[in-house]
Amino acid sequence: MTATRILVIDDEPLIADLVCTVLAEDGYDLTCLSSAEDALAEIEGQDNFDAVITDIDLGGSVDGFELARRARVHRPDVAVIYISGAAAARVAGERVPGGQFLGKPFPPYKLAEIVRTSLPPAAVAAAAED
């Protein structure tokens, strides 16, 4: 089986590294970036991410909401998880359908849990087998 692919974007490199470290322990194939522009290039260059985990405020002209919308253009069933210190009400009003929200700061186990519940069961099983 192919490993579950997850794109992680946070303009704070330490946060992106933390998220990727936590998820690597669960066997996911991760692409971890700190630039919205680099993330757009990844999203538009391939359509095989099973999930996108993104901060909302990325410090540029493209935010996490736009990244998620573009990811869904390429793969409508991609799981989206927003990680942010932003108010949950803002996320509820702007997120893509089915998008999940995890407020910063968050404990690592909560991140792993929300990823598992957001992915289709086949993607979680693939990660567990690798």
Domain ranges of the chain: 5-121
- The CATH number of 5-121, from 3.40.50.620, 3.90.1200.10, 3.30.70.141, 3.40.50.2300, is 3.40.50.2300
Residue 3 has pLDDT above 60, yes or no: yes
Structure tokens given for 73 = 């253009």
How many CA atoms are closer than 13 Å to the CA of 32, on its beta-carbon side? 16
Taking only the tens place, the pLDDT of each residue in 63-105 is 999 999 999 998 888 999 999 887 666 777 778 888 999 998 8
Interatomic CA distance for residues 21 and 89, integer angstroms: 29
Region of poorest pLDDT, from 1-10, 11-20, 62-71, 118-127: 118-127
